[in-house]
Structure 1
Amino acid sequence: MTTEVEWRRRWKPDLEAFPWQPIRVDGSTYLLKYMFTTDSYKVLLTDLANFWHEELADQALQKRIKKLNPGIEAPVTRILDQIKGVLDKTQDDPNTSIKLSFKREADSEERKVMLVLHSELAGMPFIWNFQCRPADKSMGSEHLILPLMAMVGELTRRQQELFKIIQGKDKQIEDYKSQGAKCTRKHIETPAFVETAFEMNMMTSKAFEQQIKGIELKTFDVKTQDLYRQIMSKRAWVNRSPTKATSEDESLLDDMSSADDSRRTSTGQSWGNSRLPPSLQQSKSPTKSPAKSPNKTPSPSKSSNNSTPETSPVKDTELLRRQALERKLELEESKKMEKAKKKKKIAF
């Protein structure tokens, strides 16, 4: 089975794994998420009631670059880096100059969203617009509702774990006090933790009210964005395709098998060079008959008269058998040593 660490090394995250970030446009707050590659991008925008999406790549991307910025000649990767850089700035300053306009199609009730960015590239004005269409309803669930539910559940679990740790610390402090220990500085001394009192204080604090007032901007700060990434990557691992997981396991097994073959080849050469452990040195002696020892097999030269010792398949089998025997002897020796140590401890 492929481990999660190995899977993460091969996993290529999609737009779902990228967190939301708040942006302020014309006094209103929106949530935006995006994913850029070397030659494409995906964006998803929401006002918490509607979702708009755009995906652009290849010729359509190059065509828009030439249309919006005809005087700028730069590789597509450089243009995409510029666009992403402007969007990243909204992380530190939600009031970054971004213009948003809605446009309704003449033959449809759907509203398109035009998200316009203004910046400079190499000292020249650079403009870009995202032409987002209404997204499928399932995207709202997959990208926002389900992740938020998972985040609430995970934060609750972590809170309970922290409560257990704090209560454990209180017991430890109480034990110290019972032995005469005292706090040298009164101002750092804390009362025993009571969960119900803590929850009541949180509900009546001013910070709780401020959090509710700025819920759009504070819900996805840096820490919660990191939690969002953790949730979505873990969700991708849990919900990974069984077929794909099986193929990855087979690929990993092939790699391990190749490595084992390499080790066997090198080990076989060492056996051929007569580098044997002392416990097996006697098996090389040609004067002793195989019948006298049940652990010995016929000599390769007797089993195959027409093949050389270096190329004989019988010798290869003998080498593998000796390897296995050596490992078995080492294991038995280690067990004997463990038993001897235990006896000494008991005797003491």
Structure 2
Amino acid sequence: MTTEIEWRRRWKPDLSSCPWQPIEVDGIKYLIKFKFTENSYEILITDLVHFWYEELEDMALRKRIQKLNPSIEASLTRILDQIRGSVEYPERETTLSVGFKSADDDDEPEKIMLKITSQLAGMPFVWNFIANVADSAMVSENLVIPMMGMVCELTRRQKELIKVIENKDKEIDDYKCQGVKASRKHIETKPFVETAFENEMLMSKMFESSVKSLGSTAFDEAGQDLYRQIMTKYAWINRSPTKKEDNSDDFEDDSLGDVAERKGSSGPSWGTSRLPPSIAGPKSVSPDKVRPKTSPAKSPKSSASNTPEGSPVKDSEYLRRQALERRLEQEEMKKHEKTKKKKKIAF
């Protein structure tokens, strides 16, 4: 069974797991999220009314680069880094502008074009994101579900914090009963009352400014990190293990002897089914083959002398080999158990 830590190491985040980032263009606030790879990108833009999406891959990406920046010669990875940096961390020389292309029979924007003007190695660099209207499923996966998850988690954390504060009040009361006093008057606090705290928050000026800002403050650095953690956990909960993943997990958990057996190794081994060459001779043999077989061509006397049962010396040698083999098996199993434990606790 795959653990969450092992799954996180192999998991490749998709666009829904990338956090939103607030940007302001021409006095209008937008939320934008994106996922870049070595030769492609996905981008989702919203003004909290409409959603636009674009995905551009290798060849189409190269064509647009050639069209917009014919004089620039750089690797695809370098250009994608430039595009991402211009959106994520725009510099002074970077400018953003937004344009719309409306449908002929509808006032609603059909496409949005986010134009970026920046500099790459001292030369002007231009890029246009041209995004179509996103479908409702994408809106749900990238905003509705994550935001509901964030609200639930923040509510849970608030309740836990209230418990911590109430316990702190009890601890302070206990100190006061023992005659302990604060060294400075201004650091004393009043007992926490949840209802009074909630009313105070609703009447504060920060509550009004928080409502006005909406999405722009929901995705600050802390909000982005919470979004990322929520969606990573959501992907883990809703994962669908593949056969390949299950097989790889079994392979990692198996002992070394089992791995060698699956590979059909014919070389000398100290696995559980083999003896060391110093004991087994030039070629390792199983315990059943150690005992010589009685040949029908020989006389009964000769046969009796050649079997382990017929000779006390050979009996003791055979038993010694069996005992040594069992000891080697036990030692090997202990080594394998230690290896498994290290794998389980390794992060």
Give the TM-score normalised by structure 1.
0.76
Cα separation, 2, equivalents of 1:55 and 1:150? 26
The question of whether the paired residues in 2 share the 8 Å contact of 1:268 and 1:316 is answered with: no
Q: How far is 1:272 from its partner?
A: 4.4
> 1:132 is matched with which residue?
131
Q: Does 1:254 align with 2:241?
A: no
> 1:305 is matched with which residue?
292
Unaligned runs of 5+ in 2: 262-268, 279-285, 294-317, 335-347
**Secondary structure of the corresponding residue to residue 24 of structure 2:** strand
The question of whether the paired residues in 1 share the 8 Å contact of 2:95 and 2:118 is answered with: no
Q: How far is 1:134 from its partner?
A: 0.8
Cα separation, 1, equivalents of 2:154 and 2:211? 17
> 1:31 is matched with which residue?
31
Q: How does 1:147-166 map to 2 (within 5 A)?
A: 147-166=146-165
**CA distance change for structure 1 residues 181 and 262 in 2, over 3 Å: closer, same or farther?**
farther
Cα separation, 1, equivalents of 2:201 and 2:34? 34
User: 2:292 is matched by which residue type in structure 1?
Assistant: N
> 1:71 is matched with which residue?
71
Aligned pair count reads: 294
Q: For structure 1, which segment, 213-222 or 260-269, has the greater mean C-alpha deviation from structure 2 after superposition?
A: 260-269
**Secondary structure of the corresponding residue to residue 126 of structure 1:** strand
Q: For structure 1, which segment, 204-213 or 249-258, has the greater mean C-alpha deviation from structure 2 after superposition?
A: 249-258
Q: How far is 1:89 from its partner?
A: 1.6
**Secondary structure of the corresponding residue to residue 70 of structure 1:** coil
> 1:115 is matched with which residue?
114
User: Identical aligned pairs, as a percentage?
Assistant: 53
**Secondary structure of the corresponding residue to residue 174 of structure 1:** helix
Cα separation, 1, equivalents of 2:258 and 2:276? 16
**CA distance change for structure 1 residues 270 and 178 in 2, over 3 Å: closer, same or farther?**
farther
Cα separation, 2, equivalents of 1:41 and 1:51? 17
Superposed CA offset, 1:162-194 (max 9, x none): 111111111112112222221111111111111
Q: How does 1:167-186 map to 2 (within 5 A)?
A: 167-186=166-185
**Secondary structure of the corresponding residue to residue 239 of structure 2:** coil
Q: How far is 1:260 from its partner?
A: 5.3
**Secondary structure of the corresponding residue to residue 249 of structure 1:** helix
The question of whether the paired residues in 1 share the 8 Å contact of 2:257 and 2:271 is answered with: no
Superposed CA RMSD in Å reads 3.3
Superposed CA offset, 1:237-277 (max 9, x none): 00001x42x54232111122254547995566998499xxx
> 2:281 is matched with which residue?
none
- Match among 101, 104, 108 for residue 103 of structure 1: 101
Q: Does 1:223 align with 2:210?
A: no
Cα separation, 1, equivalents of 2:322 and 2:65? 65
User: 2:102 is matched by which residue type in structure 1?
Assistant: R
Cα separation, 1, equivalents of 2:68 and 2:289? 83
Q: How far is 1:324 from its partner?
A: 4.5
Cα separation, 1, equivalents of 2:73 and 2:270? 56
**Secondary structure of the corresponding residue to residue 19 of structure 1:** coil
Q: For structure 1, which segment, 124-133 or 265-274, has the greater mean C-alpha deviation from structure 2 after superposition?
A: 265-274
Cα separation, 2, equivalents of 1:97 and 1:325? 68
The question of whether the paired residues in 2 share the 8 Å contact of 1:21 and 1:31 is answered with: yes
Cα separation, 2, equivalents of 1:188 and 1:74? 60
User: 1:164 is matched by which residue type in structure 2?
Assistant: K
Superposed CA offset, 1:144-177 (max 9, x none): 0111111000000000011111111111121122
Q: How does 1:10-25 map to 2 (within 5 A)?
A: 10-25=10-25
> 1:48 is matched with which residue?
48
Superposed CA offset, 1:292-326 (max 9, x none): xxxxxxx94885337xxxxx9xx799735764599
Cα separation, 2, equivalents of 1:234 and 1:324? 41
> 2:283 is matched with which residue?
none
Cα separation, 2, equivalents of 1:304 and 1:107? 93
Cα separation, 1, equivalents of 2:64 and 2:127? 9
Give the TM-score normalised by structure 2.
0.76
The question of whether the paired residues in 2 share the 8 Å contact of 1:33 and 1:45 is answered with: yes
User: 2:252 is matched by which residue type in structure 1?
Assistant: D
User: 1:253 is matched by which residue type in structure 2?
Assistant: D
**CA distance change for structure 1 residues 190 and 270 in 2, over 3 Å: closer, same or farther?**
farther
The question of whether the paired residues in 1 share the 8 Å contact of 2:251 and 2:259 is answered with: no
